[in-house]
A and B are shown apart, each in its own frame.
Chain A
Amino acid sequence: MVQLSLPKSSEVKKGKYFKDKTGSKNLRKINIYRWDPSTEENPRIDTYEVDMDNCPSKVLDILNKIKNEIDPTLAYRRSCAHGVCGSCAMNMGGKNGLACTTPHAEIDGDIDIYPLPHLKVKRDLIGDLDGLYKQYQSIEPWLKNNSTKQTTEIYQSKEDRAKLDGAYECIMCACCSTSCPSYWWNGDKYLGPAVLLQAYRWIIDSRDEERKARLKKVSDELKLYRCHTILNCTNACPKGLNPAKAIAEIKKMLATANV
């Protein structure tokens, strides 16, 4: 159900203030969502003054700087640092994105950093994505070909291969799904843009033989049709993909095909 306010135990309180110790003239205030699972306390916003003269260009660089130089207790996920792994997905300046590809110069004023929206927080900027992964599993994201005789590779024309462009590049960072208000309110049933984009990727794969079964599976009031083209997903995607269009294409296929 639509729950606009946060539960009492999730309300965000004011936290600590870390004053700059470097004496730099070029300071920026970074407000970061913190929650420590070992205490009973509510989440809080800690503010850090960061010396921008000695900080590279991306938001992830700021986080690394804080963790290395100011407060080692800060927890966040990161790995590749160039937009391939999808680990450092978070909400920066009110918009989801990858910390490693988002330049801090693009955000005006103080920088607010939150975990991905509407997730159970494990700690600080780390959200629990188990539900999303289970949904991903439910669409069976692998090639299904029932012929047992064929032992060679399955050929695909250039045109059919081109259909996968814009769908296969997804890194499952969850920026889109956690930006979607429909997913916030119905995340237990609605599959969300990330999973539906992948469902689309397998539906349109010319080598896959389960197209009809796949379409039938997503054809559900709650699983698919909770998309109301709010387009937060397409706006958030750090890889420039268009989940909203993929969802519209699935709806179109269902409207025209006899499933």
Chain B
Amino acid sequence: MENRPLSPHIQIYKWHISSLVSISHRITGIINFFAITLICIWFALMLLGESNYQIIKNFLETFLGKFILIGITWSFSFQMLSEVRHLIMDLGYGFELQTTKITGLLVIFGSIVLTILIYLIGRGLI
């Protein structure tokens, strides 16, 4: 009786838009937690000394620094749009299968568009 095996679950279950958005919502939530902490530390360091500003600025201009910045921007964009989707669902709307697919895709592509927009605005290109 006790040696009954557990049937496979996440290893075999097929992903679809809604489950992908849901898991990404969690992952971006965790990323955002660390991102906000990191940003706070940067600000605190800047308050502590002028030379720190230069060090952080140099770091942010490296490839890794840029990757982190753009990553954080995407993560925030995704979380925000997905949260709006959840809010609408909490009101009881958008549960039809077709609708969930469309809103899920809107969140995924919207987050990319939003990231590019924020980048362009930040660069002063728009």
Spell out A's residues near B (CB within 8 Å): 4-7, 9-10, 12, 33, 35, 37, 40, 42-43, 91, 93-95, 112, 114-122, 127-128, 179, 181, 184, 228-232, 234-235, 242, 244-245, 248-249, 251-252
Contact = CB atoms under 8 A, between A and B. Distances in A.
B7 A115 contact: yes
B79 to A, nearest CB: 14
Given A118-B9, A229-B89, A234-B97, 11 more contacts: A10-B8, A94-B14, A112-B12, A120-B4, A229-B18, A232-B18, A235-B97, A242-B95, A242-B96, A245-B92, A252-B91
B32 interface: no
Contacts of B11: 5-6
Closest 7 CB pairs of A and B: A94-B14, A10-B5, A245-B95, A117-B9, A231-B18, A118-B9, A120-B4
Interface in B1-60: 3-14, 16, 18-19, 22-23
A33 B11 CA distance: 13
A121 B4 contact: yes
A91 B13 contact: yes
Contacts of B95: 231, 234, 242, 244-245, 248
A72 B10 CA distance: 29
Contact of B5 (A42, A229, A245): A42
A113 to B, nearest CB: 10
B18 A10 contact: no
A116 B6 CA distance: 10
30 contacts: A4-B10, A6-B6, A10-B5, A12-B8, A35-B5, A43-B5, A91-B12, A94-B14, A95-B13, A95-B14, A112-B12, A114-B12, A116-B7, A118-B9, A119-B6, A120-B5, A120-B6, A128-B4, A181-B9, A184-B10, A229-B86, A231-B18, A231-B19, A232-B13, A232-B16, A235-B97, A242-B95, A242-B96, A245-B92, A249-B92
A40 B23 CA distance: 36
A248 B90 contact: yes
Nearest to B26: A228
Given A94-B14, A117-B13, A244-B95, A33 B86 contact: no
A115 B22 CA distance: 24
B99 to A, nearest CB: 10
Contacts of B91: 252
A7 B6 contact: yes
Nearest to B91: A252
